[in-house]
Structure formats: structure tokens, C-alpha cells
Amino acid sequence: MSPENTSVAVQEALEIKHEGRSVRLPVVRGTEKETALDIGQLRSATGLITLDPGYANTGSCKSAITFIDGEKGILRYRGYPIEELAEKSSYLEVAWLLIHGELPTAAQSREFTAQVTRHTMLHENFRRFFSTLPKDAHPMPVCAAAIGTLATFYQEPESKEHIQETIVRLIAKMPTLAAYSYKHSLGQPFVYPRNDLGYTSNFLHMMFSNPCEEYEVDPVVAKAVDLLMILHADHEQNCSTSTVRLVGSSMANLFASISAGISALWGPLHGGANQKVIEMLEQIDAEGGDVNRFVARAKDQKSGARLMGFGHRVYKNYDPRAAILKRACNDVTRRVGGSSRLLEIAMRLEEVALKDEYFVSRKLYPNVDFYSGVIYKAIGIPVNMFTVMFAMGRLSGWIAQWLEMRDDPTFRIGRPRQVYTGPALRHYAPAAARG
Ligand code: ACO
């Protein structure tokens, strides 16, 4: 479905006048009635550009993939509420939905699962790729590099036919690369994928089995990982997705674009927050569990501390993914019998913050990362792999967004402008003449 089909230009227009020149800019409305001013003619007609650091007011594209209403706490993929998909669907089905626009038929689902299962193995030369990296390498840049490296193994042109193969390869190999990057950090041998296991069970097997001991995958744990991946699968034009689109807009290939997205996701203000949440909860625990003291520190902007996992650029009511995960947290910690200490601290922290005027007035609520780390920790995923788990889930959204951009009839290379604030024209002086 082209994004062009899902929005309409309405009669309304705004007139902008500047230094004797003027333009009527059309107002565009999406299917959920969100409204935008189409400024495509602004600069050519008036000489003006817009200035919007952080892009908080800027729509970079029309998109038919994900809808978010941050005020109401709504998240939908291709029109389906996240709550329904979380309860009834599976990650591979959601990946198909995001990429193709519709839920797969039973036959499409079987075929897609079979294809993904068949492509999970990595070229044996990847062993040498991993062996060149330091043992303590963080798995996130390892994954970014490994995904970029796939482009050297698969150099076919990005034709309509080959791109589907590339998509399957990416989805199939990402868990293998992620598990290998973890095994590399432990110094353990890589564990080959198994075709008799489902997508997330296979990932857990490659993470936790070793040649001496087979890891028995607990279906509850596999389901929790699947849920987390569904919740992370797409989130419209966030930092990493915009990166994927921007890199892809230069006609860089899909592997390179996804690799850039992984790098963007790594930062603590984006996907890296789930790691920071656990570090914060452990710090509170180590300091005696006083959540009030930490909240006071997070409110003191001079302290540089933030309540990690709180706040969101878009959600100003609550993050629906956090609400789903809070429930799942209870189930998982009960099932695996791990320490519920961090979950208790997280819940007390949330309770205190949600009553505090500082957080209430700024509309700061728990985001998806507030509880995801607690689940990962409970099921034995090491902290430095948390962001990699996020990337595994987000992969399908990145692919869908990249494809949509390439198919968009208004496609152009992404190239923002700027307001220059440096020195005005001046002339070169030889070193001896500089004061
Ligand atoms: N703790 C304490 N204060 C906060 C927090 C927080 N977690 N988040 C925002 N604030 C304060 C800011 O200091 C600012 O206060 P001010 O208006 O008095 O100056 C106000 O709330 C607005 O914050 P901004 O940083 O301007 O909000 P922005 O939309 O740019 O940032 C962000 C959103 C990055 C998510 C921010 O809330 C944050 O840093 N949160 C913690 C990190 C985090 O959890 N990131 C994960 C995001 S979800 C995701 O990427 C999957």
C-alpha cells in the first residue's frame, strides 16, 4: 500500500508572506486525522526554510505502517492495536504484517517461517570476522558491523526479486549474529541454529546451549521474548528508523541502512535505555533500595541523573507497550523463579514518580524500556545484550520503513538544510600575520 493512498490534501491552506513574496501551503490530513502543513513549496516561493532542532514538529514522510497517538497512548501496526497483536500474534507474523501491509494467510505464514528457518546459518568465514574483534567488544557494534558485512557476502542488485531474499536473510540471520556476538564475548564456541525450533526458541538455544550441555528452551521464556520483539517491532519515525531511511535515501543497500539503524539505536537516549534502567535499579538496590533518594536526584537537573525508562518524545499519557510489559514482568518472574527484587524496586520507583509533581507536570511516564530490562534480566539475558534484543525486534520495522521509502513516488535523497551561524565572509591570512 503506497503512503500516497492513505492521506488526502484537504481544501484548507495557510498563506505565508515574507518580504513581499507569498505562498499558499496546503494542509494535509492522514487517515487518523492528524494534520500537517505541506511546506514543499515554501523555500522556492518565499526563500524561507523551517528550523526545528530535534525534528519535534517535522514530518519527514507519509507512512502507512505505524500509527501512534501519544496523547491517548495508542500504538497500531497497519491499523491493528498493539494490545491485540501482543496477545494473539507472533513475531514472524507481525514482521510479515509490517513488511507486506496485511497479516499473512496460513500458507504465506508457513512459507515465510520455512524460508526464515532455512536461512539462519552464517557463512563459515564469519568465524574469522568474529575472531578479529576484542573479546570484551560490546555486542551492539559487533552486530552493526556484522550486518554491514553481510553486504559483502550478498552482492546481488536490489531488484524486486532479490530484495525479498535479502529481507528473509536479514530476519533469519540477525538472531544468529546476535547470539554469536554474545558467544564471542564469553569465549565459548558458536552454537549452530536448529531447524526444528521456532524463531525465538532457536535464538535462546544459540545463546544458552554449548557443546557440552543442551539448553532446554522454556516455552514461557520463548513466548516472553516473542512478545518483547512484537512490542519493539516498529515505532514510526524515531531516531534509528529515520537513520535507516536517511541512509537508504542515498540508495545505500538495505544491509548498510540497517547497520546504521543499529548504531543509532545503541545510544542511551534511545535503545540503550533498557541497559541503563537495569544499571539504575541495581544502583538503587546497592544503595539500600531508597527510591525517593533516586527520584530526588533525577529531579535535580544539575545532578545529570535521569530516571531512565521514563519520558518519551511522543507518549505524553502512557506508553501502551510499558503497560503490556508490566503485566508480562509478573508472569515471567513468577515462572523463572528469579529475583523479583528489581521488579519490586521498579514498581516502587514508578509509584513514587507518578505522584511527583516534577514528572506529572512534564508528562513523564514509564516507556517500553522501563520493564523490558527486568524481563531480560529474569530470563538470563546479559545486560549488554538488551539493546541487541531491541534491535532484533526493530529489524522488521526498519525493513518495512526502508521499503516504503524506496517505493514512495515522491522519493528523494534526504537532505535537510540549516541556518548558518558561523563567521560571515573573511579572508585567509598567512600564519605570521594572525594575532
Ligand atoms: N528523568 C528526569 N527528567 C526528565 C526525564 C527523565 N527520564 N525525561 C525528561 N526529563 C525532563 C527534562 O529534563 C526536561 O525538563 P525541563 O523542561 O525542566 O528542562 C523535560 O523533562 C523534557 O525533557 P526533554 O529531554 O526535552 O524531552 P525529549 O522529548 O527531548 O526527550 C527522552 C525524551 C530522550 C526519552 C527523555 O525523556 C529521556 O532522556 N528519558 C530517559 C531515557 C529513556 O528512557 N530513553 C528511552 C526512550 S524510549 C525508546 O527510545 C525506546
Question: All 3 cell numbers of residue 58?
Answer: 517535522
Distance 362 CA to ligand 1 centre (A): 9
- Do 333 and 378 form a contact (C-beta atoms < 8 A)? yes
Residue of 240, 266, 269 best suited for mutating to test ligand 1, as the one with most atoms within 8 Å of CB = 269
What residues contact residue 354 under an 8 Å CB cut-off, 6+ apart?
360, 365
369 is an active site residue:
yes
**Among protein residues, the one whose CA lies closest to atom 47 of ligand 1:** 270
CA distance 263 to 260: 5
Question: Which residues does a 6 A CB cutoff place in the pocket of ligand 1?
Answer: 269-271, 273, 298, 301, 306-313, 362, 364, 367-369
Q: pTM for the full model? A: 0.91
Say how many C-beta atoms besides its own lie within 10 A of residue 16's C-beta. Answer: 17
Indicate the fold that domain 8-59 takes in CATH: Rubrerythrin, domain 2 (2.20.28)
374-383 in b/e burial notation, b at 16+ Cβ within 10 A?
Answer: bbbbbbebeb
Residue type, 10: V
Which residue minimizes the CA distance to atom 45 of ligand 1?
Answer: 269
**Which 8-state DSSP code applies to residue 375?**
H
Among protein residues, the one with the nearest Cα to ligand 1's atom 27 is 313
Report whether CATH 1.10.580.10 matches the domain 85-222+236-266: yes
Question: What is the phi-psi region of residue 33: left when phi exceeds 0, alpha when psi lies from -120 to 50, beta otherwise?
Answer: left
Burial class (CB in 10 A: 0-12, 13-18, 19+), 239: middle
CB-based contacts of 421, cutoff 8 Å, min separation 6? none
Active site residue 136: no
In the reported structure, the alpha carbon of residue 73 is separated from the centroid of ligand 1 by a whole-number distance in angstroms of 17
| Residue 321 alpha carbon to ligand 1 centre in Å | 17
Q: How far is CA 315 from CA 30, 71, 318, 363, in A?
A: 19, 6, 6, 8
Per-residue pLDDT tens over the stretch 74-113:
999 999 999 999 999 999 999 999 999 999 999 999 999 9
Angle 363-359-376 (CA atoms, 0-180°, nearest 5)? 90
User: Which one-letter amino acid corresponds to residue 178?
Assistant: A
Would you state the pLDDT for residue 1? 46
Distance (angstroms) between ligand 1 centre and the Cα of 343 equals: 22
Tell me what pLDDT residue 305 has: 87
For 410-431, the pLDDT digits (tens) are: 999 999 999 999 999 999 999 9
Task: Tell me the one-letter amino acid at 24.
Answer: R
User: In the chain, where are the structural domains located?
Assistant: 8-59, 85-222+236-266
SS3 366: strand
Among 235, 312, 319, 356, the active-site one is 312
pLDDT digits (tens, 9 = 90+) for 216-238: 999 999 999 999 999 999 999 99
For residue 412 the three cell numbers come to 528523494
Whole-number pLDDT of residue 264: 97
**Pair 365, 310: CB distance under 8 Å:** yes
Q: Helix (H, G, I), strand (E, B), or coil: what is residue 8? A: strand
All cell numbers assigned to 375? 524481563
Give the residues of the chain that fall short of pLDDT 70: 1-11, 337-339
